[in-house]
Amino acid sequence: MSTGPRLFPSSSSSTSSSSSSSAAPTSASSKPGSLGSPFATSSSSTLPSSSSDPSPLAGGTGRPAAAAAAAGFTSSSAAAMQSSPHHPHHHHALQASSASASSYMMSIGGSSSARKKTEGKTLSIKGFKVAPKLPPNYEQETWQKLQAAVRAVHEARPIDSYLEVLYEAVENLCLLGGGATLYERLTAECESHLRLEAEKLSVASEDPVTFLSVVDACWQAHCEQMITIRSIFLHLDRTYVLQNPHVQSLWDVGLIYFRRQVAEVTVTQRRLITGILLLIEQERAGDSVNRSLLKSLLRMFSSLGMYTEAFEPHFLRATHELYAREGAALITTMPVPDYLAHVEARLQAESERIVHYLDIHTRRNLLATVERQLIEQHIRVLIERGFEELCNANRIADLSRFYSLLGRVNGLEPLRVAFAAYIKKRGAALVCDPEKDKNMVQDLLDMKQQLDTLLSQCFGHNDRFQNCMKESFEAFINMRQNKPAELIAKFIDAKLRAGNKEATEEELETVLDRLMILFRYIQGKDVFEAFYKNDLARRLLHNKSASVDSERAMLSKLKQECGGQFTGKLEGMFKDMDLSKAIMVSFNQSKFASQMGDIELSVSVLTQGYWPTNKPTSMNMLRIQQEFQKFYLQKHTGKQLSWDNPRGDCLVRAAFPKGTKELQVSFMQTLVLLALNAGDGVSFPTIKAETNIGKSSLLRLLQSLACGKIRVLNKNPKGRDVNETDTFDFNTDFVNKHYRLKVNQIQMKETAEENADTNEKVNQNRQYQIDAAIVRIMKARKSLAHQLLLSELFNQLKFPMKPADLKKRIESLIDREYLERDEKDQSTYIYLA
Amino acid sequence: MKVRVKNWSAVAVWRWKVDDDTCGICRMAFDGCCTDCRLPGDECPLVWGQCKHCFHMHCILKWVHSPNANQLCPMCRQEWKF
């Protein structure tokens, strides 16, 4: 009997009695255990959530109410019916809900008293004498009643009958096997109604937006109507439809007809799409539009299964066209940063659009379209027009945007290339211009730091960008041979030298670390080594090092970078200095010390291989030097000592009439000063004979003493330049507020010479390395063509060189009979064992 | 007036006092070091035998201690004595 789904949580007798008492006009037909009609469940209609949800898509499925009903909740369908304003039961149902609750209570009490009365009586059941018959035209009449109701629903009129009656009519028809007929009649009725609606639409307003609202209203009405109809015909949906797999549910059939009659009509569809696209375009242009209308219509397309075929392609094409146009127009007129910001805003707006009314599946295609049109098409122009400027201006935010936008369209590779080109261009401008040599290293440090910031803040520490930065630095810093290495060495010298009070130890440490990064990029490390060694020698010998700790720190950095081979000699220099101190201690304790007079001597004894060599000077040894040499050779047999006087320093006490001063001067300057002790007005040749110093050096020395900042000598006649005819004497008017003074040497010329010297030394060392490499290669290969040999050499040798230099070395090796040319092929060399 | 030197920081350079340029054993320069050392100087000293021949100390020690050298100077075949 009760084969249908139970619509009540418990369909016991007490429940049925409550429903019979509440639905008074039709109570007679309510049997215990019957299917139970949704109209009898008025008690559940009091749930606020169900009565306030008129959405046709509640539940999100094609047949939402049906699904809910299957789960045992009839509330939504019932509520949907009762909430329709023209429903006759509406008022009654709400009243009944409270009545049913009280009658339920009563029926419990009443049933106990009723049980007492019927006690002891028998109840007999007898069959009908005549089998009951249906009226002959029952089916016809019932359908007419239902048809009237369906039409009333479609025309939004009040229904004449009670819904419960209608429901039971459907139930009866189904039970009598009239399901198929009823289904066909009903669907035909719906289809004809939709046909009428479609006709109305075809003459609806021309205005696209108005048309959209008309269609929307039509769709909303359709949904509501289908819910009502389905509720009436619920029994049909639950039995006939479910039992026949090929029959569509009422809700689905409603959608199919709606789609066939309304949405798929070419004109309507075209107008719909045009209207929607127009609205979207308006919104993109900045107007505010009715988003809920759009949302509702697009949901309609989704529900009808037409979104992907009918709407999405048109939408994407419109998007494509719009942004292709916009991109082409803006890229030429807008500054790049503004353009990028605009693109970002566009992407943001489109994402919001998806949230607000588009289907989520459109997201990928939509964003891809926008990205392609606004970014991918213009990558080259964007980079060409804006990247360099942004880097120059250090526009962190704009560059981050640049990076993230290009990252969306696989545009990072061109950006990386541009980044590399930018670094090379900017770096080359710094490195290759001799006029900028003065600030080159500081500028490079600043540039490196700025680029590091860009890398971390804008380019997300991208490894490829990091590598490209490294390669670019290597490329440009080696564009000019030797000079950058020399300048870095000098820069480090300036930082490590005493009197450099601008930085604390920590600051110095970080600067050195950053310098080491630059140093890492340099190929000609031997140049650096040579200059660094020269500077280190000067710092050590003249005691100008700011701090031994910093020196050692720098040394360990170099060691880490280039290995012990590189720093071994530098370490040896430190060792020599320590050793010299020990030697002086023992010298001062020896008998030779007594020969020193009042001169305090300290000698730095250098190991020849470690230190940069000076040209040996032929000078007479002074007496105290001889004493020291005796002492030294006595202690160290097998060694010989040579003096490097130009590197010596003296502290000279000069008793000027207006105050005694101590002068910090070089040994050579000291010799000149001592020569003047002889008397007033000493001539140039006399000094030269006395000191045994070469002419040009002596001229420079005299200039430093007589024409520099601190003029301890008077020159006669006066003038800026020193001539061989001049005579010199002490400046007896000399005054200075300091007691101890340093008389600078004339450095400029010397430095230039020194630089040339150092470079020359480096080149000589390189020649040996080239020779060794050539011999090594040829020994392995026995015979090799010129070009192959060159490319092999470029692979092996770590410093920059010109093919012409290599050719010279090959010639030299041929002369020395290490190699010979092949007689048949002059461009091939053969190794001679 | 006169000037007087108070302090003098002089610089001197030392090297080995030998007539030959290279060590007869390892053929490396005396100014350089033997093949086992990295740096020249006091770390890799020279030694003279009684026969007046001079070698890197490391070189001659290795030679003298090798089984077939018989404690002879490699140059003059006389007995090697420091």
Q: What is the largest CA-CA distance in chain B?
A: 73
Asked whether residue A462 is assigned to any structural domain, the reply reads no
| Shortest Cα distance, chain A CAs vs residue B79, angstroms | 21
Nearest CA in chain A to B47: A638
CB contact under 8 A, B14 and A650: no
Asked if residue A71 has pLDDT above 70, the reply is no
List the domain range (segments joined by +) for residue A205.
13-110+135-263
Q: Given the cut 0.90, state whether the ipTM is greater than it.
A: no
Region of A175 please: left (phi>0), alpha (psi -120 to 50) or beta: alpha
What local confidence, expressed as pLDDT, does residue A746 receive?
Answer: 67
The two tokens of residue A621 are: 């040894």
Q: How far apart are CA A335 and CA A124, in angstroms?
A: 99
- Rounded mean pLDDT, A161-189: 85
What local confidence, expressed as pLDDT, does residue A256 receive?
Answer: 87
Q: Which of A397, A393, A411 is nearest to A462 (CA)?
A: A411
CB contact under 8 A, B12 and A541: no
- Work out how many CB contacts closer than 8 A connect A with B: 152
Scanning A652-747, the segments in alpha helix (DSSP H) are: 667-676, 684-691, 695-706
What local confidence, expressed as pLDDT, does residue A468 receive?
Answer: 92
Q: How far apart are CA A294 and CA A300, in angstroms?
A: 10
Residues A101 and A190 in one domain: yes
Q: How does DSSP assign A356-412, residue by residue? A: HTS-TTHHHHHHHHHHHHHTGGGHHHHIIIIIHHHHHHT-HHHHHHHHHHHHHTT-H
First to last CA, chain A: 115
Residue ending a domain, choose from A214, A247, A263: A263
Residue ending a domain, choose from A535, A562, A589: A562
- Rounded mean pLDDT, A87-99: 43
Residues A669 and A790 in one domain: no
Q: How far apart are CA A643 and CA A645, in angstroms?
A: 6
Q: Are A638 and A632 in contact (CB under 8 A)?
A: no
Q: How far apart are CA A604 and CA A595, in angstroms?
A: 19
Q: How far apart are CA A828 and CA A724, in angstroms?
A: 59
Q: Are A820 and A785 in contact (CB under 8 A)?
A: no
The two tokens of residue A709 are: 């900042």
CATH of the domain at A150: 1.20.1310.10
- Rounded mean pLDDT, A375-403: 88
Burial degree of A191 (CB within 10 A; 0-12, 13-18, 19+): middle
How sure is the predictor about A142, in pLDDT bands with cuts at 50, 70 and 90? Answer: confident
Burial degree of A316 (CB within 10 A; 0-12, 13-18, 19+): middle
Residues A230 and A141 in one domain: yes
| Shortest Cα distance, chain B CAs vs residue A673, angstroms | 7
Amino acid at A43: S
**Which A residues, 537 through 556, put their C-beta within 8 Å of a C-beta on chain B?**
541-543
**For chain A, what's the residue count?**
833
Asked if residue A713 has pLDDT above 50, the reply is yes
Q: How far apart are CA A673 and CA A666, in angstroms?
A: 11
CB contact under 8 A, A610 and B1: no
Residues A106 and A22 in one domain: yes
Nearest CA in chain A to B45: A638
The two tokens of residue A194 are: 């939709």
H or E segment to which residue A828 belongs: strand A828-831
DSSP code of residue A262: I
How sure is the predictor about A424, in pLDDT bands with cuts at 50, 70 and 90? Answer: very high
Tens digits of residue pLDDT in A196-236? 888 887 777 778 888 888 888 888 988 998 898 888 888 88
Asked whether residue A367 is assigned to any structural domain, the reply reads no
Q: How far apart are CA A81 and CA A39, in angstroms?
A: 9
**In this structure, what are the phi and psi dihedrals at residue A505, rounded to the nearest 5 degrees?**
-60, -40
DSSP code of residue A122: -
Residues A104 and A215 in one domain: yes
- What are the distances in angstroms from CA A719 to CA A4, A706, A707? 128, 9, 8
By the CB < 8 Å criterion, does A629 face chain B?
yes
CB under 8 Å to A636, separation ≥6 — which residues? B14
Q: Angle, nearest 10°, between helix axes A525-541 and A748-781?
A: 140
Q: How far apart are CA A389 and CA A377, in angstroms?
A: 21
Q: Are A524 and A482 in contact (CB under 8 A)?
A: yes
Give, in degrees to the nearest 5, the angle at Cα A336 between A335 and A342.
95
Q: Which of A442, A553, A539, A558 is nearest to A497 (CA)?
A: A539
Burial degree of A411 (CB within 10 A; 0-12, 13-18, 19+): buried
Q: How does DSSP assign A586-608, residue by residue? A: HHHHSGGGGGGTT-EEEEEEEET
| CB half-sphere exposure, A55, CA atoms < 13 A | 13
Asked whether residue A417 is assigned to any structural domain, the reply reads no
By the CB < 8 Å criterion, does B46 face chain A?
yes
CB contact under 8 A, B3 and A673: yes
- Which of A320 and A800 is assigned the larger pLDDT? A320
By the CB < 8 Å criterion, does B13 face chain A?
yes
The residues pairing with B55 across neighbouring beta strands, listed in sequence order, are B47
Residues A760 and A681 in one domain: no
* Mean confidence (pLDDT) of chain A: 79
| Shortest Cα distance, chain A CAs vs residue B69, angstroms | 25
Scanning A203-334, the segments in alpha helix (DSSP H) are: 208-232, 234-236, 242-243, 250-258, 266-284, 291-303, 312-333
Tens digits of residue pLDDT in A564-573? 878 888 888 8
Q: How far apart are CA B39 and CA A222, in angstroms?
A: 99
CB contact under 8 A, A608 and B39: no
Q: How far apart are CA A578 and CA A79, in angstroms?
A: 101
| Shortest Cα distance, chain B CAs vs residue A614, angstroms | 10
Q: Which residues of B touch A639 (CB under 8 A)?
A: 14-17
- Which of A78 and B45 is assigned the larger pLDDT? B45
Residue A636 three-state SS: coil
- Which of A89 and A784 is assigned the larger pLDDT? A784
| Domains held by chain A: number | 4
Q: Are strands A740-742 and A659-666 parallel, antiparallel or unpaired?
A: parallel
Q: Which residues of A touch B41 (CB under 8 A)?
A: 572, 607, 609-610
**In this structure, what are the phi and psi dihedrals at residue A488, rounded to the nearest 5 degrees?**
-65, -40
Instruction: Provide the b/e sequence for A161-179 (b: ≥16 CB within 10 Å).
Output: bbbbbbbbbbbbbbeeebb
CB contact under 8 A, B7 and A600: yes
Dihedral of the alpha carbons of B71, B77, B81, B82, in degrees to the nearest 10: -110
Q: Which of A29, A38, A33, A35 is nearest to A13 (CA)?
A: A33
Instruction: Name which of B8, B15, B57 to mutate to probe chain A: the one with the most chain A Cβ atoms within 10 A of its Cβ.
Output: B8
Asked if residue A61 has pLDDT above 70, the reply is no
Minimal Cβ distance to A608: which of B10, B14, B38: B14
How sure is the predictor about A422, in pLDDT bands with cuts at 50, 70 and 90? Answer: very high
Asked if residue A92 has pLDDT above 70, the reply is no
Give, in degrees to the nearest 5, the angle at Cα A495 between A491 and A499.
130
Asked whether residue A437 is assigned to any structural domain, the reply reads no
- What are the distances in angstroms from CA A535 to CA A53, A437, A450, A561? 87, 18, 29, 19
By the CB < 8 Å criterion, does A574 face chain B?
no
Q: Which of A564, A499, A490 is nearest to A533 (CA)?
A: A490
Asked whether residue A197 is assigned to any structural domain, the reply reads yes
Q: Which of A269, A355, A250, A278 is nearest to A307 (CA)?
A: A269
Residues A505 and A490 in one domain: yes
Nearest CA in chain B to A671: B5
Minimal Cβ distance to A568: which of B8, B31, B39: B39
Residues A799 and A680 in one domain: no
How sure is the predictor about A70, in pLDDT bands with cuts at 50, 70 and 90? Answer: very low
Asked whether residue A800 is assigned to any structural domain, the reply reads yes
What local confidence, expressed as pLDDT, does residue A799 receive?
Answer: 77
> What fold, for B15-82?
Herpes Virus-1 (3.30.40)
Q: Which of A563, A639, A559 is nearest to A607 (CA)?
A: A639
Region of A137 please: left (phi>0), alpha (psi -120 to 50) or beta: alpha
The two tokens of residue A662 are: 């101590």
- Rounded mean pLDDT, A122-143: 81
How sure is the predictor about A615, in pLDDT bands with cuts at 50, 70 and 90? Answer: low
- Rounded mean pLDDT, A509-513: 88
Residue ending a domain, choose from A196, A231, A263: A263
H or E segment to which residue B55 belongs: strand B54-56
**Whole-number percent of chain A with pLDDT over 70:** 83
Nearest CA in chain A to B40: A609
**Whole-number percent of chain A with pLDDT over 90:** 8
How sure is the predictor about A472, in pLDDT bands with cuts at 50, 70 and 90? Answer: very high
Residues A717 and A785 in one domain: no
Residues A151 and A240 in one domain: yes
Residues A254 and A227 in one domain: yes
Q: Are A354 and A366 in contact (CB under 8 A)?
A: yes
Amino acid at A236: L
CB under 8 Å to A764, separation ≥6 — which residues? none
Q: Angle, nearest 10°, between helix axes A266-284 and A291-303?
A: 140
**In this structure, what are the phi and psi dihedrals at residue A570, rounded to the nearest 5 degrees?**
-65, -40
H or E segment to which residue A173 belongs: helix A163-175
- Rounded mean pLDDT, A529-540: 88
Asked if the bond preceding A717 is cis, omega within 30° of 0, the reply is: yes
- Which of B1 and A493 is assigned the larger pLDDT? A493
Q: Are B60 and B80 in contact (CB under 8 A)?
A: yes
Asked whether residue A185 is assigned to any structural domain, the reply reads yes
By the CB < 8 Å criterion, does B40 face chain A?
yes
The two tokens of residue A467 are: 């590598």
Asked if residue B28 has pLDDT above 60, the reply is yes
DSSP code of residue A263: I
Q: How far apart are CA A713 and CA A701, in angstroms?
A: 11
**Which of A42-51, A173-182, A313-322, A741-750 ranks highest by mean pLDDT?**
A313-322
Q: Which residues of B touch A642 (CB under 8 A)?
A: 12-15
Domain edges within chain B: 15-82
The two tokens of residue A501 are: 């009070």
**Residue owning tokens 């010199």:** A728
| Shortest Cα distance, chain B CAs vs residue A558, angstroms | 17
